[in-house]
């Protein structure tokens, strides 16, 4: 088959943001520099959120300043509001992401806003980013289950996706934030979202709490998705999603995609070195 599928590496951001122990900036830079040699086109390395909310990401500017940028790699950052966007521009992020939720409970816990308020806040962020030529990605959390509200209605995911699409997000990443989804429920959610956004502008973002992330990726592949977020070493979790385990491990996604005949275009040895580094950072 040899069809291209992209793994979007989110380890330096989603993988590390939840670590309670402060990780030295130099270690984060070393991890990104390693991952830059693996063949990823995009690596999420920074999060310009409130340092009071997520202290681990407070050094995002220093990380972006310290890395050795590889040609052809875009270094991405989360930007919840205009202040975050200004910090991302100052740090020379190559693309930014706005991040909302399909469930009210998580939206309030994670970004202190209702879904409607968050979408109002994101509009000007997306517009300002476009003005300076920065591509904007959109995330939707809790596309299957919410730690506060329970199961999510697929129609609600589709509504938020349509709004992010209308704001000009070049891609929308659909997050199973607490890793409870099943392939059947991911299929039903995607059927609703695909009514409003085509598969070429969607990505899957699976946490692996329930151990079914790889199956959920396969259900997404069957519906035409070709981009998947993953974190080396399977690190991760969201501080505002109690019980959420790590992102699906990049090395596991790589193996599964290759077994299915897809071509992720990554150097496995480098990915495994990155995974070892990431795990060592967690262990302290």
262 binds, among ligand HMG, Mg ion, none (CB under 5 to 8 A by kind): none
Q: 13: which 2 tokens?
A: 């951001």
Window 8-47: contact mask with Mg ion (x via CB under 5 A): ------x---------------------------------
- Decide the pairing of beta strands 6-9 and 3-4: unpaired
Residue 219 interacts with which of Mg ion, ligand HMG, none, CB < 5 to 8 Å by class: none
Close Cβ partners of 154 (under 8 Å, ≥ 6 residues apart): 188, 189, 191, 192, 193
Q: How, if at all, do strands 145-146 and 150-151 pair?
A: antiparallel
- What are the angstrom distances between the C-alpha of 110 and each of 32, 115, 192? 25, 11, 24
Q: Does residue 6 touch Mg ion according to CB under 5 A? A: no
In the complex, minimum distance from the CB of residue 238 to Mg ion, in angstroms, rounded to a whole number = 6
Which residues pair with residue 98 across a beta bridge? 138
The answer to whether the CB of 177 falls within 8 A of the CB of 244 is yes
Residues 19, 246: contact at Cβ < 8 Å? Answer: no
CB-nearest residue to ligand HMG: 175
Tokens coding 76: 């991405």
Nearest residue to Mg ion, scored by beta-carbon proximity: 14
**To the nearest whole angstrom, how small is the minimum distance from the Cβ of residue 118 to ligand HMG?**
8
> Minimal distance in Å, beta carbon 206 to ligand HMG?
8
In the complex, what is the shortest distance from the CB of residue 267 to Mg ion, in angstroms, rounded to a whole number?
Answer: 24
Where along the sequence are the contacts to ligand HMG (CB under 6 A)?
Answer: 14, 17, 47-51, 53-54, 78, 80-81, 83-84, 87, 99, 110-112, 139, 141, 175, 177, 205, 207, 238, 240
d(CA 160, CA 79): 17
Would residue 142 show up in a list of annotated catalytic residues for this protein? Answer: no
Question: Residue 99 binds which one of ligand HMG, Mg ion, none, with CB within 5 to 8 A depending on kind?
Answer: ligand HMG
Footprint of Mg ion on this chain (CB under 5 A)? 14
């Amino acid at each position: 088959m040899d069809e291209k599928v992209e793994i979007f590496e989110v380890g330096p951001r989603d993988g590390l943001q939840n670590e309670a122990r402060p990780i030295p900036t130099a270690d984060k830079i070393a991890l990104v520099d390693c991952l830059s040699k693996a063949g990823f086109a995009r690596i999420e390395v920074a999060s310009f959120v409130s340092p009071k909310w997520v202290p681990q990401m407070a050094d995002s500017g220093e990380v972006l300043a310290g890395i050795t940028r590889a040609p052809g790699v875009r270094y991405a950052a989360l930007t919840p509001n205009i202040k975050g966007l200004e910090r991302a521009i100052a740090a020379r992020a190559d693309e930014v992401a706005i991040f909302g939720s399909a469930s009210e409970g998580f939206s309030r816990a994670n970004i202190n806003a209702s879904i409607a308020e968050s979408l109002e806040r994101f509009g000007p962020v997306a517009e300002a980013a476009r003005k300076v030529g920065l591509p904007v990605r959109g995330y939707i959390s809790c596309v299957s289950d919410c730690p506060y509200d329970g199961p999510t209605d697929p129609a609600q995911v589709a509504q938020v996706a349509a709004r992010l699409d209308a704001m000009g997000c070049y891609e929308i990443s659909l997050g199973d934030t607490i890793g409870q989804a099943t392939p059947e429920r991911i299929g039903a959610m995607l059927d609703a979202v695909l009514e409003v956004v085509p598969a070429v502008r969607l990505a899957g973002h699976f946490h692996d709490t329930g151990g079914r992330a790889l199956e959920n990726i396969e259900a997404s592949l069957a519906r035409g998705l070709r981009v998947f977020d993953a974190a080396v070493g399977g690190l991760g979790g969201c501080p505002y999603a109690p019980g959420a385990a790590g992102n699906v491990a990049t090395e596991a996604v790589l193996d599964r995609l290759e077994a299915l005949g897809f071509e992720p275009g990554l150097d496995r040895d480098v990915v495994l070195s990155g995974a070892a580094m990431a795990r060592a950072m967690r262990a302290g």
